[in-house]
Structure 1
Amino acid sequence: MGRMLYSVTMSLDGFIAGPGGDMSWLTEHLGPNPTVEKLIGDIGALLVGNRTFGGDDPHRGTDKEGEPFGGGWSGPQFVLTHHAPETPVPGVTFVGDLDSAVAAAKAAAGDKYVNVLGASIARQCLDAGVLDEILVFIVPVLLGDGVRLFDRPGGTNIRLERLSLTQAPGATSIWLRVVG
């Protein structure tokens, strides 16, 4: 079975979205990145939080809007939600609980990654002990407010082991394994 990977782009001050979930800040930081290009080929399925699925899109207003990785990836998507839309969405399965969503996404991914998208669902996966790796692309911008990479009131230490550290134009990536 595939591994669970949370991949995300983050500002230097720790935000993955601006106030209200605004993703427009990310648009100027999208571009060629060898780590992203390799990752896309290693993804077998997406596990997406409902707010992320229905939220802001850095590709808004373009032909890439609503497409995972700006249209660079296609495949099965699983959205964790208690309120599935009445109209089916092609290629998207809406699942009501985390365990079922993780099992379905892993089965669909085969030996490839299940790529987790969304801060809340990533935290839920971490809490459930099913998140294997985290890949953070750090871009040179300070947002000052918004959605944090991980928000854990009261705090908790989660040990991570660095797998790689790479640089590309406009971003530094840190690939980590969750160890406890």
Structure 2
Amino acid sequence: MAKMLYSATMSLDGFIAGAGGDMSWLTEHLGPNPLVDELIGDIGALLVGNRTFRGDDPHKGRPGEGKPFGGGWDGPQFVLTHHAPDTPIPGVTFVGDVHTAVKAAKDAAGDKYVNVLGAETARQCLEAGLLDEILVLIAPVLLGDGVRLFDHPGGTKVKLERLSLSGVPTATNLWFRVVG
């Protein structure tokens, strides 16, 4: 059965996107990472937030622009949104609620991961008790403003258990299991 994994590259000060959703900061941190290379083969489907799906692309101007993981992954994508486009997009299903989106993505992923992309979508999955693991690649940079990895106004405590710690020059990889 598929597991739900939230993965993101984050600045040391906790942002996965810069001010206004800017992702250009990430481009210089997209270097080789064996953990990510291996993970891509274990992803069966993507669950993507609308802001992430329609947002800035760190691969802008590169051959993989507009494709998941810069073209390194291909498969079914499920976008969580209340505003589906009028024109269908091949390989992309637009879903209006988190439970339906997670079920569809898990069914499509089989025994592989559903990779959650987008802070708001990950927060919704976490609050609904649907998120199994979190992989954070910490980039050696401070952004000072932007979209946080996890934001819950008023605060909340989510217990995590570290599964692994590794690193490459462009990032420190931290993999966690969601405990509760």
TM-score (normalizing by structure 1): 0.99
Specify the alignment match of 1:85 in structure 2: 85
1:58 alignment partner, SS class: coil
Q: What CA deviation, in whole Å up to 9, does each residue of 1:78-133 have, x standing for no partner? A: 00111100111111001111111000000000000000000000000000000000
Q: C-alpha distance in 2, partners of 1:157/1:83? A: 31
Which letter does structure 2 place at the counterpart of 1:26?
Answer: L
Which letter does structure 2 place at the counterpart of 1:141?
Answer: V
Q: C-alpha distance in 2, partners of 1:162/1:79? A: 28
Q: What CA deviation, in whole Å up to 9, does each residue of 1:62-92 have, x standing for no partner? A: 2211100000000000001111001111110
Structure 2, unpaired ranges of 5+: none
Runs (4+) of structure 1 exceeding 6 A deviation are none
Specify the alignment match of 2:179 in structure 1: 179
Specify the alignment match of 1:62 in structure 2: 62
Specify the alignment match of 1:9 in structure 2: 9
Summarize the alignment of residues 33-52 of structure 1 with structure 2, pairs less than 5 Å apart.
Answer: 33-52=33-52
1:100 maps onto 2:88 in alignment: no
1:75 maps onto 2:75 in alignment: yes
Which letter does structure 2 place at the counterpart of 1:118?
Answer: G
1:134 alignment partner, SS class: strand
1:29 maps onto 2:29 in alignment: yes
Specify the alignment match of 1:161 in structure 2: 161
2:26 alignment partner, SS class: helix
Q: Percent identity?
A: 79
Which letter does structure 2 place at the counterpart of 1:10?
Answer: M
Structure 1, unpaired ranges of 5+: none
TM-score (normalizing by structure 2): 0.99
Specify the alignment match of 1:111 in structure 2: 111
Q: C-alpha distance in 2, partners of 1:128/1:163? A: 22
